[in-house]
Amino acid sequence: MASHESDAPKKSHFHLLRDHINVRKKGERLLILRLILRPWHIGHEFAKANPTKKPEAEVVALKEQLSAMTAEKGTLSTEMGELRKKLNQVEYDMKTWIIHCLEAQDKGKKTSVDLAETNHSLEELKVFNVDLDKEVWDLKACVVDEHELGFEKALRQAVILYNVPADDKRFDVTKMSTKSP
């Protein structure tokens, strides 16, 4: 297995552990297969075997191997349980991240729609402001015209009522007083 790992690209911890578990399961299957097939060959082995070799010792060794494999299976099952918990946590984190991304995307769409509406409202307000500025300038012009017309009316009335000629050089309109000779 070491030569296989050096030839292959680097594997993650999960893949290495999975391969390790598969190798152990394969060894466990072979042991079970040997235990199942053993009775068929017992008679054959006894015919070839030394009379000094004791089958009880081999049975004890196989039982020890079986108990070691069972203990190893227990540790591997706890490791698998821990890995499943980690995998479930990663899947949960991934799902929550996807939900968070979708919510952010929806929020971005809503914000862009709100921004477009605000820009449209701003353009409408600018047009309305330009119209109001025109109206204010028209009103200012009317007020100035009214004042000028009122002054000219007052000047005509002064000429008529006070017999003061408007083209008299002694009469200064800016000071609203007459000059004495």
**Sequence-distant (≥ 6) Cβ neighbours of residue 28 within 8 angstroms:** 69, 73
Are both 54 and 72 inside the same structural domain? yes
Q: Which domain holds residue 46?
A: 2-126
Residue that is last in its domain, among 85, 110, 126: 126
Q: Do residues 69 and 100 both lie within one domain?
A: yes
Domain end, chosen from 126, 142, 165, is at 126
| Beta bridge partner(s), residue 171 | 178
Give the HSE-up count for residue 19: Cα atoms under 13 Å, Cβ half-sphere.
Answer: 12
Q: What is the reported pTM?
A: 0.34
Same domain, residue pair 39 and 87? yes
- Hey, what's the torsion of the CAs at 157, 162, 163, 165, to 10 degrees? -60
Segment 59-66 long-range contacts (CB within 8 Å, at least 24 positions apart): 62/31, 62/34, 62/35, 65/31, 66/31, 66/35
Domains identified in the chain, total number:
2
Return per-residue pLDDT of the chain as tens, 181 residues. 444 545 556 777 667 767 767 776 666 666 665 655 555 555 555 555 555 556 778 888 888 989 999 999 899 999 999 999 999 999 999 999 999 999 999 999 999 999 999 999 999 999 999 999 999 898 888 877 787 878 888 877 777 777 766 676 766 656 655 555 5
